[in-house]
A and B are shown apart, each in its own frame.
Chain A
């Protein structure tokens, strides 16, 4: 079974740019799409990126996604940080034997 590894936490100042990584171990990151979810305490999670780099309707273009096959990792980049971006972020993918696998989550702090 593959795993998705995320940093426990990242931080950035208002207006800055932060990047959250998600490293896939066990097979190649490009083998299946990666999604990203934002989860604020007490709220339902929401999808902020799907199929590596597609933004759902309503998600601002400050959010962008990418993959790097050389490091087998996906990244979520948030530019122009706002206080409302403070949340936990989870990457998620799958394979033929595992319908859903989440990364451990990254706590984004906006200072």
Chain B
């Protein structure tokens, strides 16, 4: 099970941290990702990191503004978002990969999502 939290209303230029708590599997043995869906739009990949947390990947749209991390001792995935823009408004999902490394990526479990609204 994956449970996201931390979504909120934030002003443009602001920061926010999302969390995703995992349960029911060995968290450290799975790569994890963030995927978002803006209102009326499709799914957009945001970021991924390996099970150990030592390899990270970002979509061009968030590179340099977002940072993905994990605390395997707490079974928790994070997404630190800064310099937020209106176009970052979306439901953010965390998703689990069957593999420990980010290769041949696919997602076998998703959370329910957390809404981030960027507006003045």
Contact = CB atoms under 8 A, between A and B. Distances in A.
A45 B107 CA distance: 9
Interface string A36-51: 0101000111110011
Given A37-B107, A56-B108, A99-B57, A45 B43 contact: yes
A63 B35 CA distance: 24
Categorize the interface residue count of chain A.
20 to 34
A23 to B, nearest CB: 15
A33 interface: yes
Contact of B110 (A32, A45, A51, A104): A45
B104 A94 contact: yes
Interface in B84-112: 93, 95, 102-108, 110-112
Across chains A and B, which 3 residue pairs bring their CB atoms closest together, nearest first? A100-B45, A105-B42, A44-B110
